[in-house]
């Protein structure tokens, strides 16, 4: 900025140096993606028309524009898919040498890498997430998961020494809309590596990357029926859960639906893993590297619009650094760019659906009504589409709904503490137990906190980091079972002659 006004006058308007540099739009091209007008169900290696004859439209939540017609699979469709998976299991997949299974998984991983740009655009178009995230997080991690489990396929004897691991059969897998392709990879890769076949149901709002994945399966020349994709809403999921010929259900989604599934399966002998909601504590001690911690807070809650089950949605700040952290946080929030998911500059994209937007809105209203103080940075939102400004609440009491319930949106609730014991007490005061973050310079404190935090994953001086070799999963109402790592194979193998 030129301070000397006379200098500006002397040089004239044209020569004035701008006071702020605006970003120029940097849109990713959507040319690379071609959608069919309508999709069938991917069963036994083919796209089949739904017997139900029902369809719905999937949209781009950033523009509220239709993208394609999707099949709503009914009972008979789910039955066809399970039959195809059973046949493929009995006659082909379980008979293959494990090293052959590995070859297919390696192929899938490499094809995902080759087609990553196309998949990234699909994820952003159908889900609303920024292209920067689908390109740099979802796609590399999805490919990494297939690479990782490809490596285990012929080494199961080493993963479970002296316990004669065998596949269990047909797995029914139900996934949510926040990381559509990545959740598919988390589910399909370990199941196939262990010799099972799958019927997977993507979430109703984000079916397109799973349908495109059927083309990857075709390219990799997987035997037909090893991977089957049935689309539809919760009714389709419920049909899959109650199908008598499914040996195992793996579910990621809300705690409410997880509980319903558990009730349905009680006494059936079917195996079950549940990855459900969360209300994670991100705890900042006064000796933490504060600028890094602020980045961790931002990444913890605004990554993927806060549509993350392990999001750091409760921030606990040590009282002595409260003012500093909050002012740094607000300053950083002002630099977040909210808007077009396909723009490479975008930090926060569109909310996945109108329904989710309404849910976030009503929980935020409850925070205001209960007496918390709200801050939202100035920010211009696009006129069409579903958007929510990154939000932080201070002056929050533990009893407020915004401190207790999962919002699944870009909304942070800040609380304070004075001692490590108080931080643990408050952090564990939730029905959930999926993840937590600890920020401090002291390694011993990190270890002590990690021992006492009742959370499946504890990040230290970082947040929302994932690696296929590292198990992920929860305690309490966040579910049970682990995905990732050697632990992630366990739900898909029978041991000791079971
Ligand atoms: P969210 O609140 O994140 O949308 P849901 O638990 O409703 O989470 O959805 C997660 C997945 O579970 C989706 O694929 C959805 O279609 C599916 N689903 C919803 N209801 C049921 C049900 N009763 N049985 C099985 N699956 C269901």
Q: Is the pLDDT of residue 3 over 60?
A: no
Domain for residue 117, yes or no?
yes
Say how far apart CA 427 and CA 452 lie, in whole Å.
10
The tens digit of pLDDT for each residue in 27-57 reads 999 999 999 999 999 999 999 999 999 999 9
The band of 498, judged by pLDDT with boundaries at 50, 70 and 90, is: confident
- Residues 22, 24, 30, CA angle at the centre, nearest 5°? 150
> How far, in Å, is the centroid of ligand 1 from the Cα of 478?
15
C-alpha dihedral sign at 155, 160, 164, 165: negative
Q: Is the pLDDT of residue 78 over 50?
A: yes
Q: Is the pLDDT of residue 94 over 60?
A: yes
Is residue 309 annotated as a catalytic residue, yes or no?
yes
Contact predicate 124/28, CB 8 Å: yes
* CATH value at residue 485: 3.40.605.10
DSSP-based three-state secondary structure for 179:
coil
The band of 19, judged by pLDDT with boundaries at 50, 70 and 90, is: confident
> How far, in Å, is the centroid of ligand 1 from the Cα of 379?
32
Residue 161 and residue 288 in one domain: no
Pocket test for ligand 1, best of 237, 261, 352, 478 (most atoms within 8 A of CB): 237
Average pLDDT for the chain: 96
> How far, in Å, is the centroid of ligand 1 from the Cα of 176?
7
The tens digit of pLDDT for each residue in 195-211 reads 999 999 999 999 999 99
Residue 387 and residue 338 in one domain: yes
Domain for residue 5, yes or no?
no
The band of 476, judged by pLDDT with boundaries at 50, 70 and 90, is: very high
C-alpha dihedral sign at 202, 207, 209, 213: positive
> How far, in Å, is the centroid of ligand 1 from the Cα of 348?
24
* Bridge partners, residue 201, by sequence: 174
* Catalytic one of 123, 275, 483, 490: 275
Where do the DSSP E strands lie in 356-402?
373-375, 391-394
Pair type for strands 248-252 and 271-275? parallel
- DSSP at 135: I
Domain for residue 26, yes or no?
no
Single out the residue of 299, 413, 388, 411 nearest to residue 338, CA to CA: 388
Single out the residue of 471, 472, 420, 479 nearest to residue 450, CA to CA: 420
The tens digit of pLDDT for each residue in 305-321 reads 999 999 999 999 999 99
Residue 88 and residue 217 in one domain: yes
Residue 270 and residue 315 in one domain: no
Residue 138 and residue 225 in one domain: yes
Q: Is the pLDDT of residue 11 over 80?
A: no
Domain for residue 417, yes or no?
yes
Mean pLDDT of 409-427: 98
The band of 22, judged by pLDDT with boundaries at 50, 70 and 90, is: confident
Is residue 275 annotated as a catalytic residue, yes or no?
yes
- Residues 242, 247, 252, CA angle at the centre, nearest 5°? 70
Tell the residue nearest (CA) to atom 20 of ligand 1.
234
The band of 16, judged by pLDDT with boundaries at 50, 70 and 90, is: low
How many domains does one find in the chain? 2
Largest CA distance in the chain: 89
Domain for residue 335, yes or no?
yes
Residue 128 and residue 240 in one domain: yes
Q: Is the pLDDT of residue 375 over 50?
A: yes
Tell the residue nearest (CA) to atom 9 of ligand 1.
253
Q: Is the pLDDT of residue 250 over 70?
A: yes
Domain for residue 16, yes or no?
no
DSSP-based three-state secondary structure for 366:
helix
Q: For ligand 1, which residues put their CB under 6 angstroms from it?
A: 174-176, 201, 203-204, 233-234, 237-238, 241, 253-254, 257, 260-261
Q: How many CB atoms lie within 10 A of CB 55?
A: 17
Mean pLDDT of 217-238: 98
Residue 91 and residue 200 in one domain: yes
Q: Domain containing 437: what range?
A: 281-467
What pLDDT does residue 1 have?
47
The tens digit of pLDDT for each residue in 145-193 reads 999 999 999 999 999 999 999 999 999 999 999 999 999 999 999 999 9
Residue 344 and residue 387 in one domain: yes
Between the alpha carbon of residue 198 and those of residues 30, 47, 250, the distances in Å are 30, 16, 10
Residue 63 and residue 168 in one domain: yes
* CATH value at residue 350: 3.40.309.10
What pLDDT does residue 202 have?
98
Q: Is the pLDDT of residue 2 over 50?
A: no
Domain for residue 299, yes or no?
yes
Contacts of 340 (CB under 8 A, 6+ apart): 25, 27, 62, 346, 349, 382
Contacts 24+ apart (CB under 8 A), 112-117: 112/139, 112/142, 112/143, 112/146, 112/185, 112/216, 113/139, 113/143, 115/216, 116/140, 116/143, 117/28, 117/32
Residue 53 and residue 129 in one domain: yes
Mean pLDDT of 395-424: 98
Domain for residue 251, yes or no?
yes
For 105-128, the DSSP string reads HHHHHHHHHHTHHHHHHHHHHHH-
What pLDDT does residue 9 have?
58
Residue 456 and residue 397 in one domain: yes
Half-sphere exposure of 9 (CA within 13 A, CB side): 3
Mean pLDDT of 8-31: 76
Residue 87 and residue 228 in one domain: yes
Tell the residue nearest (CA) to atom 7 of ligand 1.
254
The band of 20, judged by pLDDT with boundaries at 50, 70 and 90, is: confident
């Amino acid at each position: 900025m030129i301070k000397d006004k006379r200098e500006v006058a002397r040089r004239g308007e044209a020569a004035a140096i701008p006071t702020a540099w605006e970003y120029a739009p940097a849109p990713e091209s959507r040319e690379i993606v071609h959608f069919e007008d309508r999709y069938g169900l991917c069963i036994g290696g083919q796209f089949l028309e739904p017997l139900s004859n029902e369809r719905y439209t999937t949209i781009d939540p950033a523009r509220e524009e239709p993208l394609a017609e999707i099949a709503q699979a009914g009972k008979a469709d789910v039955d066809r898919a399970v039959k195809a998976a059973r046949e493929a299991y009995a006659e082909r997949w379980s008979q293959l040498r494990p090293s052959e299974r590995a070859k297919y998984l390696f192929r899938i991983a490499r094809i995902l890498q080759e087609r990553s740009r196309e998949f990234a655009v699909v994820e952003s178009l159908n889900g609303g997430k920024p292209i920067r995230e689908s390109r740099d997080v979802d796609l590399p991690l999805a490919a990494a998961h297939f690479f990782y489990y490809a490596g285990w396929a012929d080494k199961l004897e080493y993963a479970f020494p002296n316990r004669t691991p065998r596949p269990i059969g047909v797995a029914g897998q139900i996934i949510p809309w926040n990381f559509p392709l990545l959740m598919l990879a988390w589910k399909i890769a370990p199941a196939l590596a262990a010799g099972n076949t799958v019927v997977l149901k993507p979430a109703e709002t984000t079916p397109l990357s799973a349908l495109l994945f059927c083309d990857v399966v075709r390219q990799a020349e997987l035997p037909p029926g090893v991977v089957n994709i049935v689309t539809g809403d919760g009714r389709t999921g419920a049909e899959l859960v109650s199908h008598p010929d499914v040996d195992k259900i793996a579910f990621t989604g809300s705690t409410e639906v997880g509980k319903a599934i558990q009730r349905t399966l009680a006494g059936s002998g079917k195996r079950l893993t549940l990855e459900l909601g969360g209300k994670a504590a991100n705890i900042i001690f006064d000796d933490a590297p504060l600028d890094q911690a602020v980045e961790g807070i931002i990444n913890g809650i605004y990554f993927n619009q806060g549509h993350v089950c392990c999001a750091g949605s409760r921030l606990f700040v040590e009282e002595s650094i409260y003012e500093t952290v909050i002012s740094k946080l607000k300053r950083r929030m002002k630099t977040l760019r909210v808007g077009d998911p396909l723009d490479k500059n975008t930090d926060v994209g569109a909310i996945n659906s109108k329904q989710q937007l309404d849910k976030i809105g009503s929980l935020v209203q409850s925070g205001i009504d209960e007496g918390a103080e709200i801050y939202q940075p100035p920010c211009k939102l696009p006129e069409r589409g579903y958007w929510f400004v990154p939000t932080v609440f201070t002056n929050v009491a533990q009893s407020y709904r915004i401190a207790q319930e999962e919002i699944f949106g870009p909304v942070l609730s800040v609380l304070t503490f004075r001692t490590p014991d108080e931080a643990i007490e408050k952090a564990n005061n939730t029905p959930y137990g999926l993840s937590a973050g600890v920020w401090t310079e002291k390694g011993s404190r990190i270890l002590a906190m990690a021992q006492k935090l009742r959370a499946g994953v504890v990040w230290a001086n970082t947040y929302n980091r994932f690696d296929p070799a590292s198990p992920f999963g929860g305690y309490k109402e966040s579910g049970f079972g682990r995905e990732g790592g050697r632990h992630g194979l366990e739900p898909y193998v029978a041991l000791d002659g079971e």
